[in-house]
A and B are shown apart, each in its own frame.
Chain A
Amino acid sequence: GIQVEQSPPDLILQEGANSTLRCNFSDSVNNLQWFHQNPWGQLINLFYIPSGTKQNGRLSATTVATERYSLLYISSSQTTDSGVYFCAVGNYGGSQGNLIFGKGTKLSVKP
């Protein structure tokens, strides 16, 4: 099946700093999503982005499908951004019909 690798595994930032999280995947995909899991376990969908670039407030994401990676940018980080960020990929109609999750990047934003 498709392998998903996220980096870095852990990230500590000072409030106000910017960061880039990376997701590499081993095969072609037509579904890629970024999620944020808060400290209470709730997963929130941030982006559906199998290709291209999207922005939502201080967050933006870019997926370069031909090179098999996606980036999540967080600007002017806030303490509420803390939690774990997951990348998940899938290939509907191909070898991996459902989402495969990476192990996540744990982000801690210090005040």
Chain B
Amino acid sequence: DGGITQSPKYLFRKEGQNVTLSCEQNLNHDAMYWYRQDPGQGLRLIYYSQIVNDFQKGDIAEGYSVSREKKESFPLTVTSAQKNPTAFYLCASSRDSDGSNYGYTFGSGTRLTVV
């Protein structure tokens, strides 16, 4: 079945450590997105990529980095510069780069906790 796979489901980060969240899709979608969700809140956009080897900052990109070397993969690195990284991270994809006429498909998320 086609879909988006995020790993790991749970991740614990020590102070000052960089961690990388994985996102892989086999839907042949052009565009991919990373969102952050805090308790009781909506989703906020971190980064998005409309095509391989290209990506743009979203609303809360500080302290995060991404790469898009393959169409199927869009990993997110949470760096030590992100002062409050504890949150639920969701990866999504859409068929067209402008998102028109098709909905977003989401992965099952990664819960990141600073210890």
Interface residues of A (CB under 8 A from B): 4, 30-31, 33, 35, 40-45, 47-48, 86, 88, 90, 92-93, 97-99, 101-104
List of A residues within 8 angstroms of B100 by Cβ:
30-31, 92
Interface set of B (CB-CB < 8 Å, partner A): 33, 35, 40-45, 48, 58, 88, 90, 92, 98-106, 108-109, 111
Evaluate contact between A99 and B88: CB separation under 8 angstroms: no
Residues of A within 8 Å of B111, CB to CB, are 41
CA distance A90 to B98 in the complex (A): 10
Q: Say whether A98 contacts B33, CB under 8 Å.
A: yes
Q: How distant is A60 from chain B, measured CB to nearest CB, in Å?
A: 16
State the CA gap A94–B41 with chains docked (Å): 25
Q: Measured between alpha carbons, how far is A43 from B111 in the docked complex, in Å?
A: 14
- Chain A neighbourhood of B101, CB < 8 A: 48
- Interface pair B108/A48, CB less than 8 Å apart: no
Bound together, the chains give a CA A97 to CA B96 distance in angstroms of 13
A86-B106 Cα distance, complex, nearest whole Å: 13
Q: What's the least CB distance linking B37 to chain A, in Å?
A: 8
Bound state CA distance, A31 and B43, in angstroms? 16
Q: In whole angstroms, what is the CA distance A42 to B37 when docked?
A: 12
Instruction: Assess whether B42 is in contact with A104, with CB atoms less than 8 Å apart.
Output: yes
From B45, B98, B102, B104, name the one whose CB has the most chain A CB atoms within 10 angstroms.
Answer: B104
**A residues less than 8 Å from B42 (CB atoms):** 4, 86, 101-104
- B106:A99 contact, CB within 8 angstroms: no
Tell me if A48 and B103 are in contact (CB < 8 A). Answer: yes
Give every chain A residue within 8 A of B106 (Cβ-Cβ).
Answer: 35, 42-45
Closest to A31 in B: B99
- Decide: A93 near B43, CB < 8 A? Known: A43-B106, A98-B33: no
Note all chain B residues with C-beta closer than 8 A to A44.
Answer: 106
